[in-house]
Amino acid sequence: MRNKNIFLAGIFLFFALAVFGFYVFGATVGEVSHPANQIKPGKFQLGDYFFPGRVGIGKNSTNHTLDVNGDISALSIDIAGTIRARDVFSSGGQNLIIGDDTFLTDIDSANILGIYGLQNKNVAGLVLGSEGPLLWGGGDSKSLLIRDKNGGDTANIQVNTINTTTIEAQGTIKSVNQSQYYRVRFDDIKARNDKCDRYQLYYQEKMLFCISGCNRWCQERKYSGGTITEFDPYTNLVGCVCLP
């Protein structure tokens, strides 16, 4: 009888130890729950951690899944949704800083985005493609410059503040819908008709060969033709009117 009792006691102890081991040793680190007052400053051990509710860092309460009162540093961020820069600054605030040269800003004007320089917020540039042009704007002249990416000017579009609009270009501006006046170098006219010489330009009835050179110069620019209106011997420029 005594041996039977010892046997039953052994079986009971075995099952008790099995149940105890399951709950103690079978639990994983991620399933352990601790009250907030038991969490002390330190480092988490290497592993995966999952938070089923909300997480606030530097906050006493939050309505967001992750709410951080401070800076966040990351090598990359992959967002499957919307990135919103809230309107917490006055006009011209640094809503999104790009590297160490420019920033995007809300200028408090409907449907308009501001691009400002970090070194000088009065100017900014935008390059369109790795081999594309540079749009450069701002400064005292309030001009929009179109340059190559190395800084060379290819055109200058300037909007004045006196209710007028002017377009200036280092080169020619073409309008194919109306006659257009150009000041063309004499050598460029002569290159298109080598019988043209400067002497002919002083006499209307003798400048047919030069008019022919102007005509060809205009046709190369998709005009129907052209004629000469004047010649400036001091600058050696020919007034050539291209016809639509």
Instruction: Please report the pLDDT score of residue 206 as a whole number.
Output: 81
Say if residue 2 is in the same domain as residue 65: yes
The answer to the question of residue 35 being in a domain is yes
DSSP string, 78-115: --SS-----S-S-TT--SEEETTTEEEEE-SSTT-EEE
Q: Can you tell me the distance from the alpha carbon of 130 to that of 121, in angstroms, rounded to the nearest whole number?
A: 24
Model confidence at 193, pLDDT cuts 50, 70, 90, reads very high
* Beta carbons of 131 and 149 less than 8 angstroms apart: yes
Say if residue 3 is in the same domain as residue 64: yes
Instruction: Please report the pLDDT score of residue 161 as a whole number.
Output: 45
The answer to the question of residue 76 being in a domain is no
Say if residue 92 is in the same domain as residue 137: no
Write the pLDDT tens digit of every residue in 51-105.
Answer: 788 888 888 889 888 889 888 888 888 888 888 888 888 888 888 888 999 999 9
Say if residue 145 is in the same domain as residue 165: yes
List b or e across 194-208, with b for residues whose CB sees 16 or more CB atoms inside 10 angstroms. eebeeebbeeeeebe
Instruction: Please report the pLDDT score of residue 199 as a whole number.
Output: 85
Domain of 163 in residue numbering reads as: 132-171
Say if residue 187 is in the same domain as residue 164: no
From 232, 223, 227, select the one nearest 213 (Cα to Cα): 227
The answer to the question of residue 75 being in a domain is no
From 121, 147, 122, 150, select the one nearest 136 (Cα to Cα): 147
Q: Can you tell me the distance from the alpha carbon of 131 to that of 150, in angstroms, rounded to the nearest whole number?
A: 10
Res. 233: pLDDT tops 80: yes
Q: Which two tokens stand for residue 78?
A: 């992959």
Q: Calculate the average pLDDT of the chain.
A: 77
The answer to the question of residue 140 being in a domain is yes
The answer to the question of residue 126 being in a domain is no
Write the pLDDT tens digit of every residue in 110-120.
Answer: 888 899 999 99
Say if residue 101 is in the same domain as residue 55: no
Say if residue 62 is in the same domain as residue 93: no
Say if residue 139 is in the same domain as residue 202: no
Q: Which two tokens stand for residue 139?
A: 């400064």
The answer to the question of residue 2 being in a domain is yes
Angle at 40 between CA 35 and CA 43, to 5 degrees: 115
Say if residue 3 is in the same domain as residue 58: yes
Say if residue 204 is in the same domain as residue 235: yes
Model confidence at 163, pLDDT cuts 50, 70, 90, reads very low
Least confident of 11-15, 100-104, 192-196, 202-206: 11-15
The answer to the question of residue 81 being in a domain is no
Model confidence at 214, pLDDT cuts 50, 70, 90, reads very high
Say if residue 21 is in the same domain as residue 55: yes
Q: Can you tell me the distance from the alpha carbon of 219 to that of 38, in angstroms, rounded to the nearest whole number?
A: 86
| Total number of domains in the chain | 4
Length reported for the chain = 244
Write the pLDDT tens digit of every residue in 21-62.
Answer: 555 555 444 456 666 677 777 777 888 888 788 888 888 889
Write the pLDDT tens digit of every residue in 123-134.
Answer: 888 888 887 778
The SS3 of residue 186 is helix
Say if residue 14 is in the same domain as residue 35: yes
* Beta carbons of 186 and 194 less than 8 angstroms apart: no
